[in-house]
Structure 1
């Protein structure tokens, strides 16, 4: 894969990860989200949150690979 295609994939994964992070927060702020009791420990840790976390980690990993292939150590 070329460096540019890795950067584009990393950008896409980063945007998707951000959307997964932001969606539960936006739903909660709009009043449409499921409200957990305070102190339950599950406030925003939905499966969508974890998907956003994993997509963001993958984006960071791909960006590092692309920067190493480009010669920028």
Structure 2
């Protein structure tokens, strides 16, 4: 079963939204006062599993979008 470029684009859009949510979620929580900030220089946010999930999903979305655009969308 081959995926059409439109289907790949929709999957990429979904992954991009979820990935961005994972990346931006902790920032939004801290800005609204519902999350605690890490100490300066700890680098803890870059080691959080949620950040890495967001990063991987965003990269996957970019990769799928490139595949969709190259396959004649």
Give TM class, smaller chain: 0.7 to 0.9
Runs of 4+ in 1 over 3 A off after TM superposition: none
Shift of residue 35 of structure 1? 2.3
Q: Which residue in 2 is equivalent to 1:39?
A: 41
Runs of 5+ unmatched residues, structure 2: none
Q: Residue 71 of structure 2 aligns with which residue?
A: 69
DSSP 3-state at the match of 1:51: helix
Matches within 5 A, 1:1-73: 1-42=3-44, 44-45=45-46, 46-70=48-72
Write the distance in 2 (CA, Å) between the matches of 1:41 and 1:21: 15
Shift of 1:6: 0.3
- Write the deviation string for residues 43-62 of structure 1: whole angstroms up to 9, x where unpaired: x3221111110000000000
Aligned partners of 2:43 and 2:21: how far apart in 1? 22
Q: Which runs of 5+ in 1 are unaligned?
A: none
TM-score (norm 2): 0.87
The number of aligned residues is: 70
TM-score (norm: length of structure 1):
0.87
